[in-house]
Amino acid sequence: MDKSYGRGQILKVDLTTGTVSREPIPAGLARKHLGGEGINSRLLWEHFLKVDRRTDPTSPDNVIIAGVGALGATGYGAGTKMKWTFKSPRTGMFGDSSSGGTFGANLRWAGYDHLVVTGRADHPVYIWIHDDAVEVRDARHLWGMDVEPADHAIKQELGHADIETAIIGRAGENMVTYASLQVSCHRGAGRTGAGCVFGSKNLKAIAARGTKGIHIHDPNRFLEAIETFTTAVNKPQRVRDAWKNVGTLGVFGYYNRSGLSPFRNNQYSTVPQDKVDKLTSRWYTDNLALRRLSCSPGCVTGCAGMYKIKGHESPAAPKYAGETGYRMELAAQIGWGSMCDIPDMPALAHLWKMTCAYGVDVIEFSLSCSFLMELWERGIIDQRDTGEWMGEPITLEWGNYEAVLAVLESIALQKNALGQIFKDGIYKAAQRIEDLKGVPILPYVIYGKGGLPFITEPRSNPSWGVAIAVASRGADHLKGAVATLERFNRPDLSTHHYGRPEAAQFATPTLKGMDCARAENRCAVINSLGLCSFPIALDTVLYPEELFAEALTASTGVPMTGQEFRLAGERTVNLEKAFNARLGLRREDDRLCERWLDEPQVDGPGKGARAKDFLEPAKDEYYEAHGWDRKTSLQTRKKLEQLDMSDVAQVLTRENALIP
C-alpha cells in the first residue's frame, strides 16, 4: 500500500491450518468504510458470502474480526476504541462489541488495522503479534486460568512487560454465549459473545506488541487538527470535568431524577433516595476512589479509574478489605445496584472485578440475577429450586450480593444445573424455567431485539425504546441510543437537525424514530474512526463530521469531506442491516419485552408511559428515515444504489431480501 495513505494491513490467521497471511487494505474499501466498525462489517459480509450464512456461530466457519479505526492510536485525543465483529452465538445474528485498552493501539503500531481469525485449533492456542513476526503458540497451560493470571503468564513467557492482550476467562472457555473478551484485562468487549467465539476456536488470547508507529502524512496539519479537537473538548467545562472525574458513574443521579433508573428488575423506574445516596459517584469518590486514568492511548479525558476497598465503607466492605481494581461503570450501578437492589458500592466493585476475571457480559449477567430475584419475590422459585439447581438452598432475595456471586460462579464455570440453564442467555433461560415450572416466565424478562436484556427505562424515552428494538446487534445503546437527543435534553441539537425541538422532548414520540436513524449513522462513523463515542457521538455541533474529516485528511493525505463521512456511517448501518436480512430478520424482529410494551411505568416523571403507545409509529418513521420499506423493514434497491452498494443489493435480490 502507498505509505502516504497511512494505513496498516489486514492480518489473517487460520487456526485450522496455522497459516498467517497479510493483505493491503484496498484504497476504495478504506474510503467507503473508513476502518474500525465499517471495514469490520464489510469483511464479515464478505466472509459469509463464502460460507453458509446459517452456520452455527460456534462452528469453525464463524470468524472473529478485530479492527481499529483510522484515527485510533494516533494521539488524536478521543482515545482508541476497537471493534470485534462476528456472528453472535448469543443471538444468531450480527454481533459486535467495542473495547478500549491498549491492545488495539499495539495492533496498529505493529502494522495491522484489522485482524481476521478463522478456523479452529485442535487444542488451546494464543496468537502472538510482534510487528512483522506473527505466530500461533500453544496455550494448553493457560486454559483454565482467569484473565489476569493468564495475562501475567503470557507476558512472562514472551519476556515483555509492555505486551497487551485480549483474553477470555473461564466463561469463554466454557462457551457461555455471552462471555466477554477482556482487553488489557479491564476493558470488556462484553456484548453478544466475543468470548464465546474465542472459546469455540480454542483461542485463549491474542497478544500484541507494536513498535512501528503510524505514518502521518502531514504532521503539522494533524497537530492543528488535534488542537481544534481538544479545544472543542474543553469548551463544556462542567460536563468535561464531571466526565473526567467519574466517567459513566456520574449520570446515575440524573437518570434517577428523570425516572430512567430501573429498580428491582424494572418493576419500578426510580430508586429510593436512601439507596441512591449509597450508589452515587460522590459516594464512590469519597470512599473508594484511588486514582484516575485513561482506558486507552490518546485520550485527553481519562474517565476511567482505580479503586481500593479499605474495609469499613459499607456492610460488604470488610469481606473485601484491601481489594484494588479498575473502577466499575454505570452498568454495575444499574445492573446490580438498582436492578438487584444492592446499594453497596464495595459489593458492586467486587462483582465487577469477578465478572472481568471470569469474562462475562455485565449487562446480561446482572439482569439474569434481577430476573431470578423477581421470580423469588413472586414465589415462582424457592430454596427447593436453588438446592436442586445449585447444590445448596441459596436464597435469592433482593440485595443478596453473595447469592449473585454464587450465580456468577454457576454460569461462568458451568458447575451446576443453574449454569446450564443460563448458558445461552436470559431469554432461553426463561423458556427453560417455564418448561420446568409450568407457569409463564417470559413476562418477567427485560429484553429488546434478539432477546438481549438491557439496563434502561425506555417506556418514557421513545428514542431509546426504538434504538433498543432495532439495533443490528440486538438491544443496545451504543448503536444509536447514546447519540439520541431526548435522554440528554438537547433541544438545541434537535432544532439544528430538524428545525424543531421535539426530538429532545421527554416522553413524546415525535421525531424519535427519525432521530434514532440519524444517531445510528453517527455512531457507526465514530466507531469506524476508532474513537470513543463518549461524549463526541451526541454533540454534532461541537463535533461535526468536518472536524474528523480534516483530521483524517491530514493523517492519510486523502481528501475527505464531512458528507463522505456521513455516507460511510450510513453504509455501515446498511451492511449490518443486510447481514441480518440474509438471516431472515424482518420488522417483527424489531421488538421489546412485554413489561416495556404493556405495563405502564408506576413511578417517576414518566409514570403511566408504555412502549406500546409509541413503538410501531416510531418504527415507521425510523425505517423511512433510513430509506427502508415500512411494511417489512427491508432495504430498497434505490437506497443501496445511492450508497454505491449495488453488490449488496444483488445478493439480497437473489435471496428475496430486498424491495425492488
35-74 pLDDT tens trace = 999 999 999 999 999 999 999 999 999 999 999 999 999 9
Spatial contact of 142 and 154, defined as CB atoms under 8 Å apart: yes
CATH node for 3-209? 3.60.9.10
Choose among 622, 624, 579, 278: nearest CA to 464: 622
509-550 residue pLDDT tens: 999 999 999 999 999 999 999 999 887 899 999 999 999 999
End-to-end Cα distance, the chain:
38
CA 126 from centre of chain: 24
The DSSP element (H or E) to which 418 belongs, if any, is helix 417-421
How confident is the model over 574-593, as a mean pLDDT?
A: 98
| 437: its cell numbers | 415450572
Spatial contact of 468 and 462, defined as CB atoms under 8 Å apart: no
237-251 residue pLDDT tens: 766 677 788 889 999
Spatial contact of 117 and 18, defined as CB atoms under 8 Å apart: no
Asked whether residue 4 carries a pLDDT value surpassing 70, the answer given is: no
Q: What is the pLDDT of residue 239?
A: 62
Q: How many residues would you count in the chain?
A: 660
Mapping DSSP to helix (H, G, I), strand (E, B) and coil, where does residue 564 land?
A: helix
Which CATH architecture describes the domain 259-450? Answer: Orthogonal Bundle (1.10)
Q: What is the pLDDT of residue 240?
A: 65
Measured between alpha carbons, how far is 565 from 540 in angstroms, rounded to an integer? 13
The DSSP element (H or E) to which 227 belongs, if any, is helix 219-233
How confident is the model over 200-217, as a mean pLDDT?
A: 96
Asked whether residue 591 carries a pLDDT value surpassing 80, the answer given is: yes
Q: What is the pLDDT of residue 337?
A: 98
Calculated CA dihedral for residues 183, 187, 192, 194, nearest 10 degrees: 10
Asked whether residue 295 carries a pLDDT value surpassing 80, the answer given is: yes
Confidence category of residue 412, pLDDT binned at 50, 70, 90: very high
469-483 residue pLDDT tens: 999 999 998 999 888
The DSSP element (H or E) to which 201 belongs, if any, is none
10-29 residue pLDDT tens: 999 999 999 999 999 998 89
How confident is the model over 449-455, as a mean pLDDT?
A: 96
Q: What is the pLDDT of residue 303?
A: 87
Choose among 531, 522, 523, 521: nearest CA to 555: 531
Spatial contact of 195 and 211, defined as CB atoms under 8 Å apart: no
Average predicted confidence (pLDDT) for the chain: 95
107-163 residue pLDDT tens: 999 999 999 999 999 999 999 999 999 999 999 999 999 999 999 999 999 999 899
Domain boundaries, the chain: 3-209, 259-450, 459-473+480-541+561-654
Lowest mean per-residue pLDDT among 39-48, 343-352, 486-495: 486-495
Find where cell 473502577 sits.
327
Spatial contact of 509 and 618, defined as CB atoms under 8 Å apart: yes
* Cβ atoms < 10 Å from Cβ of 229: 22
Q: What is the pLDDT of residue 3?
A: 42
- Domain 459-473+480-541+561-654 in this protein, CATH class: mainly alpha
Spatial contact of 371 and 344, defined as CB atoms under 8 Å apart: no
Q: What is the pLDDT of residue 2?
A: 39
Measured between alpha carbons, how far is 190 from 511 in angstroms, rounded to an integer? 31
Contacts of 282 (CB under 8 A, 6+ apart): none
305-317 residue pLDDT tens: 999 999 999 999 9
248-292 residue pLDDT tens: 999 999 999 999 999 999 999 999 999 999 999 999 999 999 998
How confident is the model over 158-176, as a mean pLDDT?
A: 97
Asked if the domains at 259-450 and 459-473+480-541+561-654 fall in one CATH topology, the answer is no
Choose among 658, 100, 184, 199: nearest CA to 414: 199
Tabulate helix, strand, coil % of the chain (nearest 5).
45, 15, 40
Measured between alpha carbons, how far is 519 from 99 in angstroms, rounded to an integer? 20
